[in-house]
Structures are given as C-alpha cells and as structure tokens.
Amino acid sequence: MELIANKKTAKYIRAIAFISLIFSIGLATLISLCVIIAKIAGPPPVSVPQTTVFYANDDSVIGQSKTAENRHWVALDQISPFVREATIAIEDQRFYDHYGFDVRRIAGAIVADIKAMAKVQGASTITQQYARNLYLSHDKTWKRKAMEALYTIRLEANYSKNTILEGYLNTIYYGHGAYGIEAASRLYFNKHAADLTLAEASMLAGIPKGPSYYSPYLNEQRAKQRQALILGQMREQGYITKAEEAEAKQTKLALVPLNQNEVAAQAPYFQDAVQAALLHDLKIDEQIIEQGGLRIYTTLDPKLQAIAEQTVQSTIPDSTDIETALVAMDPKTGEVKALIGGRDYKKSQFNRATQAYRQPGSTFKPFLYYAALEQGFTPVTRLKSEYTKFKLADGVSTYAPTNYNNYYADDFVTMMQALAVSDNIYAVKTHLFLGENTLVKTAKKFGITSKLDPVPALALGSSPVKPIEMTNAYSMFANGGKKVSPLFVRRIIDRDGAVLYDAHLENEQVLDKNNAFVTEEMMTGMFNKKLSGYATVTGQGIIPKLTRPYAGKSGSTKTDSWMIGFTPQLVTGVWVGYDKERDITSAAEQRYAKNIWADVMEKGLEKEKKEKFKQPAGVVALDINPKNGKIATKGCPLKVKMYFTKGTEPTEYCMDHLDGEDEFNKIQLKAKDEQKNGWWKKYFPW
C-alpha cells in the first residue's frame, strides 16, 4: 500500500511539475510577446502638461500660466539624492532590479490580503505608478489594470530606469495642487528640489501615499510618523546612518505658510502684455504657453514696477474714479521696465497703457518741431505769439486755437521758448507752414501707428494714440534717433532647456542724429525757468522735485493729462484721465501725471549715474538771449545754452545790453574775423 501511495504522490508531483513548466513557458512566452509588442510599438510619449513660469529681469518669478495643475519638470540630477533614495526606499525597494513588476512584492501582498480578508497592502512599482499617472484614470476596473500593465511593459522596454524615475518624480501628486517634486519643493519649503535636505526629502516622499492624509499642513503628527517610517527604511537599506536618521527625525521643518505659496500676481497688466506679445508678435501657440513648461524671461524691473505702483497709489486718492496708465522703457533697447494699465486690475483688466486711444495733446509737439528742424527751422526761429484765426485750405473755414489761460506774448518768440511754455499758436503756424501731411509722415517715422488726421489741430495732438506708442516714440529722442519697439520678452526656454527665442536687437538709425539731439535739448526747456516770460514753463511745478537733467513734454486736453520725459537711461510716459468721456476739471487732477512722472523717475534713477545726452560732432552750442534769439553778450541778463546743427547757428549778437562803445567794437571785430576766416576757423582755431 505504501508503494502504491508513493507512486501516486510521484505522479502528482510530475503532473504539477509539468503544469508548472507549461505555465512558466506560457508566461515566459507571454512576457516575451509583450516585450516584442512593446518594442514594436516604440516608446510611449511621456510628456505631461507643465506650468509655464514668467521671470523678471532679475530672474525672480513674477507669475505662471493659469493651468489648474502646478507642474515644473526638472532633470534627475537636479533632484536631491535624498529624494530619490527616500522614494525608492518607501515605494519600490527593488526598483533597479525588476522589469516593471515586483513578483516578490506581489506575492507578499496577496498573502497579506488573504490573511486579512481585505485589501491591506499594495504592490505597485514606481513604473506602474508612473504609467497610471501618465495615461490612465485611477478607477479600479480590470480593463484599467490590464492597460496599466501594458504601459508598464512599454515604459520598461523603451526607457532607462533613471528616465522612468525622473518621470515619476516629476508627475506624482504631492497635494495642494503640486504635481512633481519641484512644484512640491517650492510649495512646502520655497526652494528648488536640488536643495532639499534629508529631513525635507523624507517628509515629501511620504505624501504621495495619501496627499490629504499625510499633508503636514493638515496633520503634522501623521506626516511626522510617515517621515519616521521612511527614515527607518532608508537606514535599513543602507542609504543613511543611524545618526543621520536620528538627526533628521529631530529636525524642525520650516514649512512655508500655505496662504503664501501661490505666486503673487505681480504687475498683472504687464503680464497680460507679455501674453499678447507671445501670441501676436512671437506667434507662440496659446496651449504651449499655458501647458508647455516654458521659462519666459521678461523685461520687467520689479523694483521700478513697485515704485510705479506705490507712486500711483500715493498720488491718486481712492475717492476718485480717475484712471491712469504708465509705461517705463529703456530707450536704448525698447525693453519695458514697468507698466501700469489701470489703478485696480481686479476691477478692470482693460490695459490702458497698450489698448486705450487717447488724445496726446501737446506731447505731440516735439514731432512737429523735429520736422521743422529738417525743413530749416532752428531753436531760435521766431514767430509771433498772438491770438490768430487761421483760414483753412477751402478758403472759407477758420480754425482759432488758444493758449492756456489765453496767455500770448503778442510778440515774436523762439521755437525753444514756444516749446517750453507750450505755445499753441506757434505750433499751428509751424504745422500749416510745413503742410499737414509733414507731421503725419514724421510721426510715422517715430513709430506712431495709430491713424492720424492731417488737420491743423494735429499739431496740438487731436488724433488719439496709445500711451505705449508715445513713450516708445520719445525713446528715439533719448537714444539719438534709433528705431526701437516695445519689448516685453528677452528670452524663452522650452521644457528641455532649448532656447526658443532670444531678443537680438539691432537698432536702425531712422532720424537725423543732429536734429534728434537738438530737439531733445529743446525739450529740456520745460524745466528751465529762464525760458518763462509771458507764460511759465510747463514743468515749473515739479522742478523742485528734480535732481538731474531731464527732457520731456507735458500735454493736456479737456479729458486727458500727459507727461512724458526721459534721461539717457530711462523714458517714462504717464497718462491720467477718465475712462468715459468726462472732463478733467480739478487742478489737482491735472497735476497727477506730472507728479507721478517726477517721483517715478527720481526714485527709479536714485542709484543710477547722472548721465548727459551725448552731443553729436555735427552740433554746436551757443549762449543765446532767449528774448530775441541772438548770441548773448556780456551784459545780457538772461543766457540759455542752445544747440544747433552746424551751419544753422545764429551769427548776430545781442546789442541790447552793451555797456559801451569798446564792447560793441570788439563784437564787430570778432564777427568780421569769423566771416573773413570762414566757419572752420571758429571751431578749429589752430
């Protein structure tokens, strides 16, 4: 009987062995087929939506794309080794040894579940979790599990272990909207993933098992218990010593308060302008901007932006509905350093700096006087300032502009003085003399793209333009006549580190540099009290605030108040007015633009060198009597340094204040000597 029993047992063993062999062969064949299929199918795409980040010109973060998920992809070597070790220790100890499925762990999980008669232990590897995060929903159907297995095989067959680990760490959810270790590192500790300590890394590694359950914000005790478990696993697996484990457990973690984790919406109007530039100027697809993980380096100067915002807030009271726009640019490059499109972005997202069309008033006059210089005028060209009715081209219609407060010289004034006090009569006379189309063509040369009507009132800024257009145009006075365009983006880098765009600026010379310089110097007149006479210079009220040389022009209409001015380093334009057609009636409101401009320029340039505009070789300077436009002599009570393109400077001396016959004779002899020896002797006496 015993022999028969032994034979039966041997038979069963052989049968089980045969079945096991067949099963093993079948399983091996199935796995081989899966691997072959995975190889034929090729590597699955592993890209995921990533947050695009916007940087200021000091590389500080100013904002990010408005995706629902906060994602930042970083290379594996840019992730702290503590993170990698802690994650493997707690999630997948044999990660580098298996081929996507940990058979030992699966068997152990099955035994544990049978003993407990419930699902108590998971067996998913890092590769399986990565596959689930990339391609699948998190439902518990058999179909999902089968698809997960197929994706797992495809990942393992086509990617290295380090690539899979990098993908996992960049896609796993760490709670509070943070996907990936970089986003989590910034969220919890305000640092990059590369800089995480052992204590911080072990804390973060415990969160993915239950982002809400193990969040240190929601339950610090549970988070610490999970951290301790992970540190113990790391010690057992040889990643850290017992002393390092103890020290990490005792370390008090400095979590960033949760309400401070969202990136502050700095310069929202500026960021909107950046978005518009990306879409319309650089032709970047909106989806790529939102989810492409781009790094967009902008031109924003955070310090200057803060100065501008604080100045507007302190200058314009909350009790008024008046609005404002401000643009500050580097005149050499066109880079927009600060931009304000309104007083409250939450109330109105309409960007008045880049979208609003407003009448520029007298800020349009510098373009006219540049055109006049090209046609033979000089800073001392004199026209009579008096109330005038101009007869228009049809021979019937008339146009009768007035000066501010009806102040007229009732005498001849120079072009420089007319600009300094903003004489409207002088401007319209010049405009009509040159022909209305001349100003239109000249403004286009300055980069003005808005529609301009060639009418007499254009000399006084009757055609609406955008604040950013005007500020950009004034940059050309500041940079010597070179073409610039408003620039918001310096560089764009894609998710893989490749440079998609780099702003290379080559500024074309489009204005005559001599006439551009002469016009710029005439624009300093609004801050020169010596040019006051029948009217005060328009910058009189802000002169006490200014500590360096500036050039500029103010302007006003019934509904608009402007101030645009510059140094060689910075040009700033400010507009103030009401959104709806409503007059500016308050004297205080009329001063807002000038005061904002003065404070922003002074504070913004506080630590900058006081630079002078570079005088071209083709320009000469003379002391002029501003009353009559003649070369000032010793007795002249007023002398103003004026600049002229060589060959256009005055030669007549002021004889109104000579003390005696000897001085008169000296001047006469000097004039004859210059005439005899030629103009070159004057500039090259050797």
End-to-end CA gap in the chain: 138
User: Which of 470, 441, 471, 447 is CA-nearest to residue 368?
Assistant: 441
Q: Which of 65, 80, 362, 463 is catalytic?
A: 362
Residue listed under structure tokens 């007795």 = 635
Amino acid (one-letter) located at 186: R
Paired tokens of 272: 């909107």
User: Which of 426, 407, 640, 421 is CA-nearest to residue 538?
Assistant: 421
Nearest-angstrom CA–CA distance, 462 and 456:
9
Amino acid (one-letter) located at 10: A
Paired tokens of 260: 């401070």
Give yes or no for a contact between 654 and 636, defined as CB atoms under 8 angstroms apart: yes
Q: Which of 65, 85, 91, 124 is catalytic?
A: 91
Nearest-angstrom CA–CA distance, 64 and 62:
7
Nearest-angstrom CA–CA distance, 546 and 548:
6
Nearest-angstrom CA–CA distance, 317 and 245:
58
**What secondary structure does DSSP assign to 26-63, as a single string?**
HHHHHHHHHHHHHHHH-PPP----B--EEE-TTS-EEE
Residue-wise over 595-630: b if at least 16 C-beta within 10 A, else e? Answer: bbbbbbbbbbbeeeeeeebeebeebbebebbbbbbb
User: Which of 581, 175, 519 is CA-nearest to residue 356?
Assistant: 581
Bridge partners for 414 per DSSP = 382
Nearest-10 crossing angle of helices 81-91, 161-171 = 90
| 362 has catalytic annotation | yes
| 554 has catalytic annotation | no
Calculated CA dihedral for residues 397, 403, 407, 413, nearest 10 degrees = -90
β 382-385/295-298 pair status: unpaired
User: What positions carry a catalytic annotation?
Assistant: 91, 362
